[in-house]
């Protein structure tokens, strides 16, 4: 079948003799975005005070506005952070939680975020409970039901991923948010794999908190992510890093719409010291790249490559696919590797022998997994090469 979109590999900087099938960890950066990033870095070094420091003001706000529009939120409701780990730590620790309450997390969550939730719960005297998602959900109703049926009388919050890290299971977060709001329970979404993979309209949902990465599927520079906080929670948040913006109790400088300082939330949480703002400024180049190739076409092509991987690795090679059916999955696909490849050094061996980057790992509950996450720089022959590699001995 003819691919619906071809973006030549030369538009990326990946090593010519390698196959990179791991957008789920870090995206490859389009060459044009890399060049924009280098331009930003060079400009900043031409006068670190006038340019690098000033970048934290109007230029950063201008990018914040376009990224907010991309994720369907008001710019005042998002904050740039370097990654989802930082974004969600901020939300978890800055929000007040009722002592004695309970936080639910699913059994599919990413370890670092579960660690953050556990530590917050320990410090705030909350309990934490793991809810089991169905192994083979038939539809979105099954996923909603699993979350709602797990709620207990003390549940004050639910933390779950929008797209699950291993299997690519897509949670119906908007529906879950609506149901939780009616019950007075907060929804915190780990959106590490959301932006760039599935369309987002955050302000149209009742999601309370959404942490998103821009350095995975979106194809932004490394070290770019954001936090979205529903407006109704802004006033409740106490900063964990206090900078020039002070705390919500302090008086603030006058409103400055050019920099987007129209409300306290932005004063308190945005500017927390100088750092490198170039990766954020280069996000505009990622948006340009995506527009040039077509947002919907990029997302469709990723799904098409996923469908091919499923057919090749499960259909032809006979591997067990641990991801849900296509309609409930995006981007990432988990497979049980062939028996010979169920070993701790499988990723390393695949790379050394075949120059293919695909992560393998072991989990107590699910055993050995192999995760394939192709993106627009890949084509079907990359997946054929993976299948060929797996047919051979490690």
Residues making contact with ligand PLP (CB under 6 A): 25, 83-85, 110, 112-113, 161, 165, 190, 192-193, 213
- Contacts of 172 by beta carbon, 8 Å cutoff, 6+ apart: 140, 143, 144
- Structure letter (DSSP) for residue 29: P
The nearer residue to ligand PLP, 64 or 89, going by C-beta atoms, is: 89
The nearer residue to ligand PLP, 56 or 167, going by C-beta atoms, is: 167
Nearest alpha-carbon partner for 389 in 374, 370, 375: 370
3-state DSSP assignment of residue 9: helix
Q: Do residues 362 and 368 lie in contact, with contact meaning Cβ atoms separated by under 8 Å?
A: yes
Nearest alpha-carbon partner for 278 in 78, 39, 83, 81: 39
We find the least distance from the C-beta atom of residue 390 to ligand PLP, in angstroms, to be: 23
CA distance 102 to 346: 39
- Contacts of 70 by beta carbon, 8 Å cutoff, 6+ apart: 195, 200, 287
We find the least distance from the C-beta atom of residue 86 to ligand PLP, in angstroms, to be: 7
We find the least distance from the C-beta atom of residue 165 to ligand PLP, in angstroms, to be: 3
We find the least distance from the C-beta atom of residue 393 to ligand PLP, in angstroms, to be: 29
We find the least distance from the C-beta atom of residue 376 to ligand PLP, in angstroms, to be: 19
The nearer residue to ligand PLP, 64 or 213, going by C-beta atoms, is: 213
Q: Do residues 115 and 96 lie in contact, with contact meaning Cβ atoms separated by under 8 Å?
A: no
CA distance 148 to 281: 40
The nearer residue to ligand PLP, 56 or 373, going by C-beta atoms, is: 373
We find the least distance from the C-beta atom of residue 176 to ligand PLP, in angstroms, to be: 16
The nearer residue to ligand PLP, 110 or 368, going by C-beta atoms, is: 110
The nearer residue to ligand PLP, 110 or 289, going by C-beta atoms, is: 110
Distance of CA 141 to the CA centre of its chain: 23
State which H helix or E strand residue 142 sits in: helix 140-150
Buried/exposed code over 14-30 (b: 16+ C-beta within 10 A; e: otherwise)? eeeeebbbbbbeebbbb
We find the least distance from the C-beta atom of residue 114 to ligand PLP, in angstroms, to be: 9
The nearer residue to ligand PLP, 260 or 331, going by C-beta atoms, is: 331
- Structure letter (DSSP) for residue 13: -
Query: % helix / strand / coil in the chain, to the nearest 5?
Result: 45, 15, 40
Burial tier of 63 (Cβ tally within 10 Å: 0-12, 13-18, 19+): buried
The nearer residue to ligand PLP, 44 or 133, going by C-beta atoms, is: 133
The nearer residue to ligand PLP, 213 or 259, going by C-beta atoms, is: 213
We find the least distance from the C-beta atom of residue 357 to ligand PLP, in angstroms, to be: 14
CA distance 208 to 357: 35
We find the least distance from the C-beta atom of residue 92 to ligand PLP, in angstroms, to be: 13
């Amino acid at each position: 079948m003819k691919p619906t979109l071809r973006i030549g590999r030369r538009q990326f900087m990946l090593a010519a003799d390698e196959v990179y099938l791991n957008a789920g960890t870090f995206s490859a950066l389009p060459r044009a975005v890399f060049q924009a990033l280098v331009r930003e870095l060079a400009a900043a070094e031409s006068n670190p005070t006038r340019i690098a420091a000033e970048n934290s003001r109007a230029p950063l706000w201008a990018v914040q506005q376009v990224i907010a529009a991309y994720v369907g939120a008001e710019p005042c409701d998002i904050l740039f952070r370097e990654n989802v780990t930082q974004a969600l730590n901020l939300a978890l620790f800055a929000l007040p939680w009722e002592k004695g309450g309970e936080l639910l997390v699913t059994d599919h969550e990413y370890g670092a975020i579960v660690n953050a939730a556990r530590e917050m719960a320990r410090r705030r005297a909350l309990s934490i409970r793991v809810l089991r998602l169905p192994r083979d959900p038939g539809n979105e109703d099954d996923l909603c039901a699993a979350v709602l049926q797990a709620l207990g009388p003390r549940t004050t919050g639910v933390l779950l991923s929008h797209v699950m890290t291993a299997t690519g299971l897509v949670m119906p977060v908007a529906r879950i948010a609506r149901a939780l709001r009616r019950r007075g329970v907060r929804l915190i979404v780990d959106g590490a794999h959301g932006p760039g993979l599935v369309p987002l309209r955050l302000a149209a949902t009742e999601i309370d908190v959404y942490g998103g990465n821009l350095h995975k599927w979106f194809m932004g520079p490394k070290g770019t992510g954001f936090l979205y906080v529903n407006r109704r929670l802004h006033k409740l948040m106490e900063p964990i890093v206090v900078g020039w913006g002070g705390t919500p109790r302090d008086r603030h400088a006058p409103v400055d719409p050019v920099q987007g300082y129209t409300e306290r939330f932005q004063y308190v949480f945005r500017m927390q010291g100088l750092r490198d703002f170039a990766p954020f400024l280069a996000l505009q180049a990622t948006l340009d790249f995506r527009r040039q190739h077509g947002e919907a076409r990029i997302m469709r092509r990723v799904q098409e490559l996923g469908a091919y991987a499923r057919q090749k690795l499960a259909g032809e090679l006979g591997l067990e696919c641990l991801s849900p059916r296509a309609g409930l999955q995006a981007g990432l696909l988990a497979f049980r590797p062939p028996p010979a490849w169920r070993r701790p050094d499988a990723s390393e061996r695949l790379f050394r022998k075949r120059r293919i980057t695909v992560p393998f790992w072991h989990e107590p509950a699910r055993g050995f997994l192999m995760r394939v996450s192709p993106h627009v720089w890949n084509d079907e022959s990359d997946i054929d090469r993976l299948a060929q590699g797996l047919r051979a001995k490690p």
